Amino acid sequence: MGMMNKMRDRTKVILWILIFAFGVIWVLQDSGGLDVIGSLGTNVGSVNGDPITFEEYSLAVDNQARTYQNQTGNTMPVQMLDQTRDRIFNQLVEDKLRMQEMQRLGLDVADLEILDMVQGENPHPIITFNFGDGEGNVDRALLQNFIENPDRQLDWIQIEEFLRGERRRSKLDGLITGTVRVSAAEIDAEYQQRNRKVDVRFVSSRFTSIPDDSISYDDSDLRRFYNAHKDEFKRKRSYTFSYVTISKNPTAGDSAAVLSDLESIRESLASTQEDSLFLSRNGSERPYVDVYFKPNELDDVLADAIFEDAAVGTVVGPLLSGNQAHLIKILDVREPVDPAIEARHILFRADEDDDDAQKSARDEANEILGKLRDGETFAVLARLHSDDPRSASRGGSLGWFGKGRMPDGFNDAAFKAPIGRVIGPVKTESGYHIIEVIDRAEIEVKIADFALSLRASVGTLNRVQEELDDLLYFSSESGDFEEEAGHRSLAVRSVQVEHEQRFIPGIGNSRPLMNFLETASAGDLSEVIELDNQFLAVTVDEIKPDGVRPFEEVRSQIEPRLRNQIKGELLAERMRDALENGYDGLADAIGTTERTGENLSFSNMIVDGIGRDPEFVGTAMGLSQGAVSNVIVGMNSVYVIKIESSVEPAPPTEEDREQIYAQLLSRRQNLLRNQWISTLRDQADIIDSRRLFLQ
């Protein structure tokens, strides 16, 4: 009631605002101002003054959304749609940049080039696809008839324009990547880098060998470190905000309504002779498929109900499985082409190469088998003793499965076993199994599955939005978002994100949220924002400008780094002094033990006692056999390396060389393409006005 009273008190103010707004509109109409605004408002952005129209942008987004719906049967989730919009906009920007470069370079396509793409020795794939003879060649007669058919003239013009664009893009790409070369020496070096391995001996001292309290530094040392590494502490503009969410999960009433909807069509589904058409016309979210199912090919809930007493014409359900409700009509029943069984097991795992482990597992399996034959419960013993945690939590149940899904020994024993008899121990590569076959599929069925998702109703979604609307309204009145959320038992969370950050911890991707933050000030409240599975309300706590983070803000990060730097310098100096007497006495001289590393390579950078250290491996790979490195300060240790042996690979085959050449060429071409388009983007005047359309 408080909210309604406040709204009534402000009615007069609102009316005057409306009167003023209409007055502005009349003035704009008389002056032609609306025409100007309308012309500006048809573009979602521009690239160097070249507009990206709302029509081309929305058409591309709609095509993606339709493709998703056709493939999945569902509308594209809100947050995926946000990502799609960003991707489409970036693609349109890059298309404009490429087109502008093609115009600047004067790239054009002659009619003879189009003719070659259509009728030459290597026609473009679109020609082969549309006018193929079924054997990979072009049906010339079919192609010529199409070209000469006046009714297909517009279609052929579109194909020609597509080919012309493809040829121009190919020419541009050739100019960009045509300078890329890969030499024989580079191929040899890459082959060596991929395949050479070294065994090393090394002496190391970890930073942790020096206690923190044995080194000293003061505030001036920290500030010197900070000043020397300022580039590492740069940040983008950042936003700290608090938010609450309410789930879009359906209520019990929503689920009951879906079940009621299914129940209401039971008689119609049972009586229809056009099952496929019935599912399509009445909005089933699972299309009709003309196939037979065994129990293992259906969700357990559905299989249990259908195969309990499968009879043609029976309508089963409504049933809940996952996030859908199902009403299922059994259309046909037949003997299965391939058998399937439902079984459970208890696994006693043992390594195949460990005889002791094998014996222990077999003995334990026999012990448990005895308990089962004495009447103890299979499910209880599976939970207590099975080494297969996934099935153990279900009392050993493996559900339904067909032949070939399980290991050979298991498969053979299970499909020969009578229903209800416990067999074993059965040996497989995993160990020993005790198996019980619970059921065997004697039939398979064809069904019409009318399925509806369990979604929140419009009424439920409206109530959730209204609750957050109220929260935002009263927060604007009281100035205390957290307190108002507490009154509604809503948990407040806080997060910090950077400008143009795509993924937001705890939320995911949300373009509307980022649009709000980019124009907000501290203390501002958002509108209610819709996400895939929840609604969101936000208040901005703090906005930090871009630049270098202040010293006090990063002091806690600097201190451990400075301590390690000081420790590294002390350990390195000590190790250099000891190394003057040669490598062989180095470990004793600094009071540690020598270690070894085997089969180190650029694909194996894990060093015993040090961990993953690319600098260690890179140094070792650059040394010849018997060579000793200088003292190196690594990520967490100081060390000296001696190459014990170097395993040189066999000479590369011609196939190896061709493969490496293709990989290096592709990698460098892609790198050059990305650098080229990034440079164009950096130099371009790109305007993104989508937030005016997508609030």
Whole-angstrom distance, CA of residue 145 vs CA of residue 151: 11
Question: CA angle 634-635-639, nearest 5°?
Answer: 30
What are the residues whose beta carbons fall under 8 Å from the beta carbon of 474, sequence distance 6 or more? 3, 484
Secondary structure, 3-state, 300-324? HHHHHHHHHCCCCCCEEEEEEECCE
Which residues on adjacent β-strands are paired with residue 277? Answer: none
Residue 563 pLDDT exceeds 90: yes
Per DSSP, the residues of 488-552 read TTPPPEEEEEETT--EETTTEE-HHHHHHHHH--TT-BPPPEE-SSEEEEEEEEEEE-SEEPPHH
What is the set of domains in the chain, with CATH numbers?
Answer: 111-177 (no CATH), 198-234+552-647 (no CATH), 239-248+458-545 (3.10.50), 250-455 (3.10.50.40)
Tokens of 71: 């493939």
DSSP letters, 226-283, are: HHHTGGGGEE--EEEEEEEEEE-PPPHHHHHHHHHHHHHTHHHHHH-S-HHHHHHHTT
Supply 518's token pair. 């980019």
Residue 183 pLDDT > 60, yes or no? yes
* Under 8 Å between Cβ of 354 and 485: no
Average pLDDT of the chain to the nearest whole number: 86
Q: How many CB atoms lie within 10 A of CB 339?
A: 14
Mean pLDDT of 41-58: 88
Beta strand pairing status for 324-334 and 315-321?
antiparallel
Closest CA to 448 of 265, 258, 300, 264: 265
Task: Provide mean pLDDT across the span 530-559.
Answer: 91
> pLDDT tier at 235 (50, 70, 90 boundaries)?
confident
| pLDDT for 241 | 94
Question: What is the CA 568 to chain-centroid distance, rounded?
Answer: 39
Query: Is it the case that residue 129 has pLDDT exceeding 70?
Result: yes
Helix, strand or coil, per DSSP, at residue 637: strand
Of 288, 273, 375, whose CA–CA distance to 328 is shortest? 288
Query: Does residue 26 surpass a pLDDT of 60?
Result: no
Whether residue 2 has pLDDT greater than 70? no
Contact at 8 Å (CB) between 434 and 413? no
| C-alpha to C-alpha distance for 513 and 526, rounded to whole angstroms | 8
Query: Where is 331: in which H helix or E strand?
Result: strand 324-334
Beta pairing partners, 544: 238
Model confidence at 27: pLDDT above 50: no
**What is the pLDDT, as a whole number, of residue 6?**
38
**Is cis: bond before 550, omega within 30 of 0?**
no
Residue type, 317: G
Q: Taking the CA atoms of 405, 406, 412 and 415 in sequence, report the sign of the dihedral they define.
A: negative
Residue 620 has pLDDT above 80, yes or no: yes
Cross-strand bridge partners of residue 320:
325
pLDDT score for 10: 41
Q: Checking DSSP bridges between strand 637-647 and strand 43-47, what pairing results, if any? A: unpaired
What pLDDT is attached to residue 694? 62
What is the C-alpha to C-alpha distance for residues 354 and 349, in angstroms, rounded to an integer?
11
* Confidence label for 660 from pLDDT (cuts 50, 70 and 90): very high
Residues in the chain: 695
The two three-digit tokens of residue 238, written as one number: 């950042």
The identity of residue 250, as a single letter, is P
- Look at residue 41 in the predicted model and tell me its pLDDT: 58
| Alpha-carbon span 368 to 372, nearest angstrom | 6
Instruction: Give percent above pLDDT 70 in the chain.
Output: 94
User: Which pLDDT value is given to residue 420?
Assistant: 87
Query: What are 475's two structure tokens?
Result: 């927060």
- CA–CA distance, 567 with 624 (Å, rounded to integer): 30
93 forms beta bridges with: none
Q: Does residue 573 surpass a pLDDT of 90? A: yes
* Count of helix runs (H) and strand runs (E) in the chain: 26, 25
Neighbours of 383 (CB within 10 A): 17
* Residue pLDDT, tens place only, 383-434: 988 988 888 888 998 888 887 788 888 988 888 888 888 988 999 888 899 9
1 Cβ contact partners less than 8 Å away, ≥ 6 residues apart = none
Taking 50 as the threshold, does the pLDDT of residue 33 lie above it? no
Report d(CA 347, CA 364) in Å as an integer.
10
Task: State how far the Cα of 241 lies from the Cα of 536, in Å rounded to an integer.
Answer: 12
Amino acid 664: pLDDT: 93
Q: CA-to-CA distance for 574 and 627, rounded, in angstroms? A: 21
Q: Is the pLDDT of residue 662 over 90?
A: yes
DSSP at 624: P
Question: What's the pLDDT tens digit per position in 578-613?
Answer: 999 999 999 999 999 999 988 888 888 788 888 888
pLDDT, residue 79, reads 83
The Cα–Cα gap between 544 and 526 comes to 18
| Measured distance between the N- and C-terminal CA atoms of the chain, rounded to whole angstroms | 30
| Range in 94-103, 179-188, 269-278, 289-298 the model is least confident about | 289-298
Name the pTM for this structure.
Answer: 0.59
Provide CB contacts within 8 A for 282, sequence distance 6+: 265, 268, 450
Lowest mean pLDDT segment, chosen from 62-76, 152-166, 487-501, 622-636: 62-76
pLDDT cut 90: percent of the chain above it = 35
Confidence of residue 203 (pLDDT cuts 50, 70, 90): very high
pLDDT at residue 373 is higher than 90:
no
Kindly tell me if the per-residue pLDDT of 376 is higher than 80: yes
- The pLDDT value recorded for residue 13 is 38
Cis omega (within 30 of 0) for bond into 211: no
Q: Cβ contacts of residue 272 below 8 Å, gap of 6+?
A: 278
Residue 354 CB-density burial (10 A; 0-12 exposed, 13-18 middle, 19+ buried)? exposed
Q: What is the DSSP letter of 135?
A: S
Determine contact, residues 522/540, Cβ cutoff 8 Å.
yes
d(CA 67, CA 87): 15
